[in-house]
Structure 1
Amino acid sequence: MGLLPSTNLDNFWVTVLLLKHGEGNDCADIEAAIGQFLKYQVFMSLLNWSSNRNAIPPVKNDEDKQAIMLISFLSNCLGFPTENPDFLGFLLNELRRFETSFNRYIADQVNQDAYGYEQKSFKLLSWLTEAKLTSILDFNYTDHSFSHSEAMHVIYDRNIHGSIEDQPIIGIDQSMFPAVDRKYEFSKTYRVLEATKRHVDQSVMSHQIKQIVFFGHSLGPADYSYFQSVFDYLDIYENNVEIIFGFAPYGDLSVDAAAHVQEPRVAVLFDEYGKSMDNQAHGNNLLHKLLLENRLSIHNYKNAEEMSYFEYKRFNGGE
C-alpha cells in the first residue's frame, strides 16, 4: 500500500514513509516502515525527546537527521503535547488515523465501479476455488458477499485484518517484540485480539484441508506468523497437503518477470518457516521435500478477464 491520494499528509506515519522513500526504500510498505522505526535509534531519540524537550540528538548520521525532522514535524505540524506525553499512545492513534484514511481510499476505489469490481472478483474466486469446498482467509480489506452464494462453494471466509465495512488493521509481525513490551501493541496479533471485542468469528481452519492456495499476497514478513500457524496446524511436512502460489503479471511485467518476483518470496517464506520447526533437519529440507513430492507449485494466471479488478485495470493501463 502506498501513499494514498486520500491519506492526510499531516500524519506521523505518512511522514515516516516519505523519509524512507527518500532513502530509496519502497514507500509502499508501511508495515515494514513501522517495524523498522520501532526497532531503530530514531524511535529512542524521539521517545527521549517526548519526555525531555531539551534532549535534541546531535546530528552524527542519517538517523539523527531523521529524528530532527520528525521532532520538527511533531512540534510544528501535529502539536504533540508538552504535558504528560504518551509517545507510544500517540503513535498508535496516528496509526488508527492512517487506517481510517486508508479505509476511505479503498472504499472510494471500489465505489468507482462496484459492479465491475464484483464481477472480476467473482470470476477470480471461481477460478481459485475450482468448485471445491473452500475456506478463505482474506488479507485484503474489501468485502465479497457473493462468496456466500451456492455457486462459490465457500464454507467460510474471514477478513482477518478487518474490512472497509469495519476497520482495516495495519501492523507488524508479533515476533518482533515480546508481549510484555508495549510496542507489541503494534503487532497484527494484538490488534486482531482487540478486534475480537467487536466480533468473534468461527475458525477458518480444518484438518480436512488438503490444498492451500495463495493469491495476491506479497508474502511479507508481517504475516509470517499466520502462515506458520496454518502450516503447523496442517503439519505440512508429514501430511499430504498441496500448496499453490498463484500470480498474475501486471503493469509492464512479463509472465517470467512476475514469476521471478514470486519465486524468491516463496523460498524465503519456507526458509523462515523451516527455522521455526522443532526438527531442524526437517526444517532444512522442507522446501526440497515439498518439491520432490510435487506438493508445491507456482502457477501463472494471466487471463485478464478473470483477474482481480485492480490487477485488470493496471494490466490494461488503467489508473
Structure 2
Amino acid sequence: FKSKIDSFEEPGKIIFVKFIRKISEKNGEIPETAINLLIELKKFEVIFASYINEIMEKHKELDSKSQTSYKYMAEDLLKRLVGIYNGNEPFKDLTTDVFSFNYSLNEYNTQRIADRIMSELAAIGNGKYTWKLNLWDNIHGVADYQRVSRYLTNGNSAPRPIFGIDNHNILADNIENDPRIIFTKSFRIVNDNVNNIRLRDALSNYDLVTVYGHSLGRADYSYFETFFDKGDLYNSNVRLEFYYYSGETEKDRMINAIKYNKAVNNLLTYYGQTMGTLHGEDIVNKLTLEKRLTVKPNPNFIPTQYSIIH
C-alpha cells in the first residue's frame, strides 16, 4: 500500500495532470480514458479510507506509557491552537470553525471532544470562560464514511475521501473542452456529495485564521483565496497565524523556518497579485506592519491529563 501512496506524491500529481491535459474532448463529451482514470481513482480512495481507519483503530486507546491517544492529542492540539490553554486571562464568547484537510476526525467524534473542553471551562467557575466549536468541516470527505452515514438523515450517505487538483489555473484555459475539470476538487466536492456531512454554516465573520499542518501548496490555493476574500484580508483587521514543523536539530529548525516563511510569503504575494486592487502585491508588508501575520513552530504536546490551566 505504501507504493500506492508514494505514487500520489507531488511528482506523480504533475505527471497525472499533464497526462489528463493531453486527452481531448469531442463535442463536449468527457473522454472514456478520463472516465476510466476517475474510476481507478475512486478505487484508490476506498483503499485509502480503509488504511486511515486501521491506523485510527490502532491508536484509539490511551497508551499506558505515554498516556496519549490519537483523540487525546487532537484535543490537546485544538486547545493550544485555539488559545484556551492559557487560563491567565478570561475570555468569553469565543467561537471556532475548523476546516480540516484530514480524513480522520469528523463532525461527530469531535463534538464529544468539544463538549469535554466546554465542561472543563465551565468547571473553572463563574462563567469567566465561554467557548464553543461551531463547525468541523471535513473539506474532502471522511475515512469513516460508512459509520458517519448512519447519522445522516434523508437517506444521504457520507462521502469517502476524495483526491483532486486545484481549478485555479484550469479556469484560465478553455474550461469547456478541458477533461481535467472532473478531477478538480471543487467538481468532486459537488459530484461526490461531500456537503452531505456539513451540518452547520460557517461563521459569518472572524478575526483570526490559524493554519496548521498545511504545506501551502498550490493544489489548495483556491481554499485560501476563499477564506482571505471572506475576511476581506487586505482592508480588515483579520490576523493570520501559520504553524510549521520546526525539526529536531538546530540546522533543521533554521532550514524549515526559512522554507515555510517563504511558502507563506509566496501564498500571500500570489493572493495579493490576484486581488485586482491597488498595492495588492504589497499585502505581506501591510500585514507585517499591522502585526497581523505570525509564522511560528508547531506547539509542543505536553500530557496534562485534560487540564486546561497548568
CA distance in 2, matches of 1:133, 1:250: 31
Q: Which amino acid aligns with 1:121?
A: A
- The higher relative CO (CA closer than 8 Å, separation ≥ 6) is in 2
Q: Counterpart in 2 of 1:121? A: 74
Q: Which amino acid aligns with 2:300?
A: N
CA distance in 2, matches of 1:194, 1:175: 18
CA distance in 2, matches of 1:212, 1:191: 25
Deviations, residues 166-203 of structure 1 (Å, cap 9, x unaligned): 21111000123244223101000001112337716233
Q: Counterpart in 2 of 1:33? A: 12
> What pairs with 1:1-319 in structure 2 (closer than 5 Å)?
4-5=1-2, 28-29=9-10, 33-39=12-18, 44=22, 47=23, 86-115=32-61, 116-131=69-84, 132-144=94-106, 145-146=109-110, 147-149=113-115, 151=117, 153-166=132-145, 167-178=160-171, 179-180=175-176, 181-196=178-193, 199=196, 201=198, 202-207=200-205, 209-250=206-247, 254-279=252-277, 281-305=278-302
* Matched-pair contact (CA < 8 Å) for 1:248–1:302: no
CA distance in 2, matches of 1:197, 1:271: 30
Structure 1 ranges of 4+ moved more than 4 A: 250-253
Change (3 A) 1:197 1:266: closer
Change (3 A) 1:150 1:174: same
- 1:148 CA displacement: 3.5
CA distance in 2, matches of 1:248, 1:127: 15
- SS of the aligned residue for 1:244 comes to strand
Higher alpha-carbon deviation: 292-301 or 169-178:
169-178
Change (3 A) 1:284 1:261: same
CA distance in 2, matches of 1:124, 1:222: 25
- 1:102 CA displacement: 1.5
RMSD (Å) for aligned C-alpha atoms: 2.6
* Matched-pair contact (CA < 8 Å) for 2:73–2:301: no
* Matched-pair contact (CA < 8 Å) for 2:164–2:184: yes
Give the number of aligned pairs: 245
* Matched-pair contact (CA < 8 Å) for 1:170–1:188: yes
* Matched-pair contact (CA < 8 Å) for 1:234–1:241: yes
Deviations, residues 132-156 of structure 1 (Å, cap 9, x unaligned): 3211111111115234425262111
CA distance in 2, matches of 1:165, 1:251: 33
Deviations, residues 188-234 of structure 1 (Å, cap 9, x unaligned): 00011123377162332422x00000000111111100100110111
Change (3 A) 1:124 1:198: closer
Q: Which segments of 5 or more consecutive residues in structure 2 lack a partner in the other structure? A: 25-30, 62-68, 85-93, 119-131, 146-159, 304-310
* Matched-pair contact (CA < 8 Å) for 2:139–2:194: no
Q: Which amino acid aligns with 1:155?
A: N
* Matched-pair contact (CA < 8 Å) for 1:228–1:273: yes
CA distance in 2, matches of 1:171, 1:99: 11
Deviations, residues 99-123 of structure 1 (Å, cap 9, x unaligned): 1121122222221111310111110
- Provide TM-score, normalisation by structure 1: 0.69
Q: Counterpart in 1 of 2:123? A: none
CA distance in 1, matches of 2:201, 2:18: 33
- SS of the aligned residue for 1:90 comes to helix
Change (3 A) 1:284 1:150: same
- 1:163 CA displacement: 1.0
CA distance in 1, matches of 2:227, 2:195: 24
- Provide TM-score, normalisation by structure 2: 0.71
